[in-house]
Amino acid sequence: MRLDPTDRPALQPTALIKALATHDVQWVLCGSQVLALHGADLAPNDLDVVPELSPENLHRVAACLRDLEAVAAYLDGWGGERGTLEACTAWRPDPPTADHLDWLFVTERGMLDIVIAHADPYDSLMDGATERDADGTPYWCCDPRRVLKALEKRNRKKDTAREAVYRDMRRKLGMS
């Protein structure tokens, strides 16, 4: 059964991390999940993944999305022509290019956001990243200060609602 682009399954971060590991995808965790792992009072609804951009790795990302039976997520008014419900329904993992894979995806294990254009590059995020473990599966988590710094440039509704949490995290991490 193919998922619907409007579905929003509960996030199972460990299951998504294991799927990425099964495909030997090189990636680093960014986004609100990083802040939650460092004590922020947040309930992330997706797993934000910044992949290494070599063609070989992007092929592995596409294979992972294929095995997860991922569909492009539909968010009303987001993404231009590519973001229509019809385009999201028709989306497939090929071609495995950065432009094509840079999207939020629906999987049975929750939302998986392959973040490329709106994140610092993989190599940059790996500087200061720490290795973590999800039920025996190692993965890399970027420095939470990087996430907070990136959020300073964002003006989304959810960020406005989370401003007190971000402020507390900045204080906890010794940021101004």
Q: Is residue 41 part of a domain?
A: yes
On the question of pLDDT at 136 being above 70, the answer is yes
CA distances from 159 to 44, 55, 70, 149, 152 (A): 12, 33, 26, 13, 9
The model's pTM is 0.94
Q: Is residue 90 part of a domain?
A: yes
On the question of pLDDT at 121 being above 90, the answer is yes
Q: Is residue 5 part of a domain?
A: no
Q: Is residue 8 part of a domain?
A: no
Lowest mean pLDDT among 38-42, 121-125, 158-162: 158-162
The one-letter amino acid code at 70 reads: A
**CATH assignment at residue 46:** 3.30.460.40
Q: Is residue 164 part of a domain?
A: yes
Domain span including residue 103: 13-170
Q: Is residue 3 part of a domain?
A: no
Q: Is residue 113 part of a domain?
A: yes
Tens digits of residue pLDDT in 31-85: 999 999 999 999 999 999 999 999 999 999 999 999 999 999 999 877 778 889 9
Q: Report how many domains make up the chain.
A: 1
CA distances from 168 to 47, 110, 142, 171 (A): 22, 27, 19, 5
Maximal CA-CA distance, the chain: 49
Q: Is residue 156 part of a domain?
A: yes
Mean pLDDT of 130-151: 96
Determine the pLDDT at residue 161: 82
Mean pLDDT of 127-135: 97
Tens digits of residue pLDDT in 4-34: 999 999 999 999 999 999 999 999 999 999 9
